[in-house]
Structure 1
Amino acid sequence: MAEEGSKLNGVDRSAILLLALGQDYAAEVLKVLTPKEVQLVGSAVSGLYNITRDTLDDVMKSFIMGVRGNTSLGMDTGEFVKGALTKALGQEKASNVIDRILSGADSAGLDQLKWMDARSIADLIRLEHPQIIAIVICLLEADQAALVLAALPEKMRADIVMRIATLEGVQPAALRELNKIMAAQLSGSAQSKQSAVGGIEAVANILNYMDGTNETAIMEQVMEIDAEVGEQIQDKMFIFEDLIDVDDRGIQTLLREVTTENLLMALKGADEALKEKVFRNMSRRAAEMLRDDLEVAAPAKLSDVEAAQKEILAIARRMADAGEISLGGGGGDVYL
């Protein structure tokens, strides 16, 4: 039904649109997506089933209306790029992408890294100067960067984190030179404005995706090197207990994407206030069943609890990036 289509998120709607376009046109669309976008849309496509005609019609109508409302001839293309990317990614995330696009910087070599597995990237850069390693890691998505950092030798990690935390920007000329180095390694053979990479928030995002053991070890070393930087990083990190600040509507939206098994494991390490918030945003029957399961559940390893919490946090960050929830709180009370 048409209202079914309205409940779909942006990724699901994109997946349905690609299916409707057919393989040839879908392939052309996929060519211009980022690795993470390809993964998200690909997963959504594989999970689609029983798409009704009404749902398809709703998705197609929304797409057509969007095209009609946002493509007028004679507009400033630079402003269009800025506006579109800012709406899609937010001001902070979009700024770096906008700089690269509008300055014409060629990042083909660095972009190839985003399609590689973390171990291969770590092997490729481990012998480079630590500052180069730090810049390369900054240019990856936070979840991929976390895996790369974990794959590097343990003695290097704190130094790399400190360099990322104190990195304020990279000159375009240096970025182009780094791109040439990466392109040469992978193949076997401007303007004064800096590209915004690195910083405290970049480190916090990366560490948010790491497992608890590695995260703790790195932070302990960072605190020994510079306690002030370490505290700044901790202030920026979003931990499981911070879900208490997400509004009720956001919690309800998040719970729809979380498996009961993961939620049960994650809540074993949560304080009572967060547990009550979760219970309050579930149906009465579901909340009672979850309470009972928590009471009778066998003890779990701390590493298993942390892994479940990390997985839920990863879902929360993905949904926040997609604009489906806000991690900053606010909003009213909405009950299921």
Structure 2
Amino acid sequence: MSAGALVVQQGAEDRELVGPERVAVLLLALGEQYGSPIWDRLDDMEVKQVSTAMAKLGPVTGDMLNELFVDFVTALTSKGAVMGNYDSTERLLQSFLPKDRVSTIMEEIRGPAGRNMWEKLSNVQETVLANYLKNEYPQTVAVVLSKIRSDHASRVLGILPEDFALEVVNRMLRMDAVQKDVLDKVEQTLRVEFMSNLSHTTRRDSHELMAEIFNNFDRQTEARFITALEEENRDSADKIKTLMFTFDDLGKLDTGSVQTLLRNVEKDLLSVALKGANESVREFFFSNMSTRAAALLEEDMAAMGPIRLRDVDEAQGTMVNIAKDLAAKGELIIMKNNGDDELVY
């Protein structure tokens, strides 16, 4: 949460937050960085309602904030708690908007993130895209792969049957500028036949979403909400904790993986991250260094003196993200739950 975005007042009287007030508190708590994408999706009337509620909000107590966030997490993670769905939303929109406008809106809601079709395709899992494209004409596939990100196109090509992939490569090498009407036809086909079907088959698990959100909390906020959620919905809290990948989980890396991580982490970042680590994780990293390197790192950490918990959280979060990026490239393996399950990113 952004510091100073929401002032939680101690000693104020608790009261029930209703309607736009609940939205106002959530957006204030999210701050500018995380709240901005939500503001962008509000229409003028909604912005006015939320802004008015925000201006008149008054003091918010810690208990009020905790209750609101627990309600929010519980609603997302409890089966059936959220009554709206894609089909009901589409039916409602069709009652007062033209069909083509509704299709565009629903595509934005359902489809992978992106401003246009080609950005969306670049965010579709490569195995899913390859499975669809393998049944298309090689020329069509050549057009599609020429329009999406090159790194994504390379992964898709690597999954396609070898002979088919080679034909696509040859088509791409010989391909001239694609006429606009041909490109429009391919784009329309993808929108109707692929993206609409994809939206019905790839609904993201809400517990996974909340685990990612909780991963980005600082440790005090994370502990507060996990504790509160355990009281309201222990099953969901347990699922979220299982799915979360934290700095402590780096202590489960195998020898080769931790060496890879250490080569990709700046010394100053490592010092700050380990300064606030528990003893077992700290010793795990020291044991995977040379005696001299570990001694020098310990000296650097001692010379730092007291450091802010926020800086430690940021450094540890950066190391976790580096580990995830390396795992996505296949350069290290991330294990959780006593090593029984490999996490693939």
Give the TM-score of the pair, scaled to structure 1. Answer: 0.46
Computing the radius of gyration from Cα coordinates, the structure with the larger value is 2
Question: With structure 2 as the length reference, what TM-score do the two structures score?
Answer: 0.45
